[in-house]
Amino acid sequence: MRPFLLLALLVSLPVAVPAAPRGDEASARAALAARFDAALRGDLPALEKWLADDLEYCGVSATCSTKAQYLESVRNGTRKFKSLEPKVERVTMYSDTAVLTGKVYAVSIGDGTVRNVNAYFLVVLVWRDDRWQMTNQSSTLLTPASK
Amino acid sequence: MRRFAAFAAIFAVATTLSGTVFAKDDARVESLRTAEAARFKANVDADPKVLGQVLDDDLEYVHSNGELNSKKEFIESLVSGKRDYVATTFEIQGIRIMGDVAIIRGTAKVTVGENGQSRDLDLGYTDIWVWKDKRWQMTAWRSARMPPPAAK
């Protein structure tokens, strides 16, 4: 009889464990706002928290960075902003994933020159460790007409 | 002996279950690759039927020049010839599936026809797919022009 009890316990485990609270749209928006704010302030501990370990960060020049590469660029000052204004235009929620799209208006000062970088962004957040984490950001420069 | 048999049974069930999950994931990755290939081909063929299937109704397609299209606008631009993809080659650099959402990252060389001439665009792209109605559908596309190779 015991094996069957053990087997029943194993099968019922996913049902018996209470589901962790999941993020909603408001918390996804807040997480993205916090992520942009951390990027503006160059706040490495906050970025460490908001960026997923498997981050793919693809900029307007089509080059992609890992989380380590992204954090290093913030640390060494090559990625630095004077201002960073995101406007989220669409949020689509899935079970443990949120896809956010919109525009971001940035003034970059990281390479020693002041540069306006206005772009469409596509962000994927995943719900891990009881919080949203950004696992992908991909951007395309805006046309003058689409600003 | 009975205890060993019990653990053996549990191990067998767990192994079978996880094997099933892995097989299912493999199948989903393959079906995603197939859908991506079909979508690129349909762009070149300007095939509204295939594009209707592989593109999500809520599609946001941002071209590398910053132009934004809905699904309807994108398909119409291809069918009308306003946008002419003469040829496309692509390379998938990464696929990640998270539940019913997938991220594909890749590069593509797109030959675009314009006023009787053609030019090549070298792109890095990310597209997002969702599993809906028992098939993958692309719901977002972002691409950016890759910098020209450094002169040697």
What is the percent of chain A with per-residue pLDDT over 90, rounded to a whole number? 78
Structural domain contains residue A9: no
CA angle B144, B146, B152 (to 5 degrees): 170
Q: What is the rounded CA–CA span in Å between residue B132 and residue A146?
A: 30
Q: Is residue A15 part of a domain?
A: no
What pLDDT is stored for residue B25 in this prediction?
74
Task: Give the list of residues 6+ apart from residue B66 with CB closer than 8 angstroms, or none.
Answer: A120, A140, A141, A142, A143, A146
How many structural domains does chain A have? 1
The mean pLDDT of A67-88, rounded to a whole number, is 96
Interface test with A, best of B128, B130, B146 (most A CBs within 10 A): B128
Taking 70 as the threshold, does the pLDDT of residue A54 lie above it?
Answer: yes
Q: Which is it for strands B101-114 and B85-98: parallel, antiparallel or unpaired?
A: antiparallel
Per-residue confidence (pLDDT) for residue B23, from 0 to 100: 65
Is residue A37 domain-resident?
yes
pLDDT of residue B114: 81
Give all domains of chain B, ordered by start, each with its CATH number: 2-145 (3.10.450.50)
B128 in A contact zone (CB under 8 Å): yes
Segments forming the whole domain that contains residue A98? 21-146
SS (H, E, C) chain B: CHHHHHHHHHHHHHHHHHHHHHHHHHHHHHHHHHHHHHHHHHHHHCCHHHHHHHEEEEEEEECCCCCEECHHHHHHHHHCCCCCEEEEEEEEEEEEEECCEEEEEEEEEEEEEECCEEEEEEEEEEEEEEEECCEEEEEEEEEEECCCCCCC
Chain A CB within 8 Å of residue B146 CB: yes
A65 touches chain B (CB under 8 A): no
Whether the ipTM is more than 0.85: the answer is no
Query: Is A94 within 8 Å of B100 when comparing Cβ atoms?
Result: yes
Cβ–Cβ gap A64/B124 under 8 Å: yes
The reported pLDDT for the residue numbered A38 is: 98
A134 within domain boundaries: yes
CATH number at residue A90: 3.10.450.50
Kindly state whether residue A89 falls inside one of the protein's structural domains: yes
> For each of chain B's 152 residues, which pLDDT tens digit applies?
566 565 555 545 544 444 445 566 788 999 999 999 999 999 999 999 999 999 999 999 999 999 999 999 999 999 999 999 999 999 999 999 999 999 999 999 999 998 788 999 999 999 999 999 999 999 999 999 998 776 54
Q: What is the pLDDT of residues A1-53, one digit of tens each?
A: 566 655 555 555 544 445 555 789 999 999 999 999 999 999 999 999 999 99
Interface list for B 30-89 with A (CB within 8 A): 58, 60, 62-68
Whether residue B139 lies within 8 A of chain A, CB to CB, comes out as: yes
- What are A122's two structure tokens? 């596509």
* Residues 81-110 in A contacting B (C-alpha not used; CB under 8 Å): 90, 92, 94-97, 99, 101
Q: Do B130 and A138 touch (CB under 8 A)?
A: no
- Put simply, the answer to whether A143 touches B6 (Cβ < 8 Å) is no
